[in-house]
Structure 1
Amino acid sequence: MNTTRPQSIPTTDLPEVITRYLAAHRVRDTATAVSAFTADAVVTDEGATRHGTAAIGDWLETAASEYTYTTELTGAERADADHYVAVQHLEGDFPGGTVDLRYRFTLRDGLIARLAVEV
């Protein structure tokens, strides 16, 4: 388990695989977003956990269609070479209308092995 306290970094310093995932998710390009994950990746969002790229693809399709919203990458943190946080500001027609989400990434072999989306 990573216990290093994350340090703020410029958003441009996030690894390419993370920025590729975020950009693909923003434009609802599920195939490109899923290609950023390891085959055995795990994603946790809204209290549910998805295992593997098929389940992650289903989650992305559902998450992208449920509401209309815009995203803006507003911050980034690095704990170590494999642990990053991206902060996204969302505005849309979901309950509350705005939210800042923390995307906690764990990388392995150049891909996303774990993603936890938190408020």
Structure 2
Amino acid sequence: MNLPATITNYLAAHTARDLEAATQWYAADAVVTDDGTTYHGRDEIRAWLGRAASEYTYTSELVAARQVDATTYVATHHLEGNFPGGSVDLDFTFSLDEDLITRLVIAAE
């Protein structure tokens, strides 16, 4: 399945650790939930992206993608790296409005 350009562009920027490019794909009032913590708005999301990019070294591979409804998509990534456990499959559940991400929830499969 092809993901919308908003998501593929965001994921490419995230993988490249380009914080400015990644952050531009979020709505001003977007919300991200990752590892039990919720971040509100672009400033908190940018700070979260910066910490997440520097905390561990890992590789990420998109292994599956599906559309849930008209505005919700799930992109499943397999990560391997120096984080606890060393390997995990994560669902990135995106909610979109127009061409922006309004919500992202990252959770283990």
For the criterion TM > 0.5, the same-fold answer is yes
Given candidates 65, 77, 82, the residue that maps to 1:93 is: 82
Q: CA deviation at 1:56?
A: 0.1
What TM-score, normalized to structure 1? 0.89
C-alpha separation in 1, matches of 2:85 and 2:61: 17
1:70 lines up with 2:59 in the alignment: yes
CA RMSD of aligned residues (A): 0.6
Q: CA deviation at 1:95?
A: 0.7
Q: CA deviation at 1:27?
A: 1.1
Gaps of 5+ in 2: none
Partner of 2:27: 38
1:51 lines up with 2:46 in the alignment: no
1:82 lines up with 2:86 in the alignment: no
What SS does the aligned partner of 2:68 have?
strand
C-alpha separation in 2, matches of 1:89 and 1:27: 16
Letter of the aligned partner of 1:30 in structure 2? L
Letter of the aligned partner of 2:88 in structure 1? V
Q: How many residues align?
A: 108
Partner of 1:111: 100
Structure 1 runs (4+) greater than 4 angstroms displaced: none
C-alpha separation in 1, matches of 2:85 and 2:38: 23
Partner of 1:27: 16
Letter of the aligned partner of 1:19 in structure 2? T
C-alpha separation in 2, matches of 1:69 and 1:27: 12
Partner of 1:17: 6
Percent of aligned positions that are identical: 55
C-alpha separation in 1, matches of 2:82 and 2:102: 30
C-alpha separation in 1, matches of 2:24 and 2:67: 22
Q: Deviations over 1:22-56 (max 9, x none)?
A: 11111101111101100000000010000000000
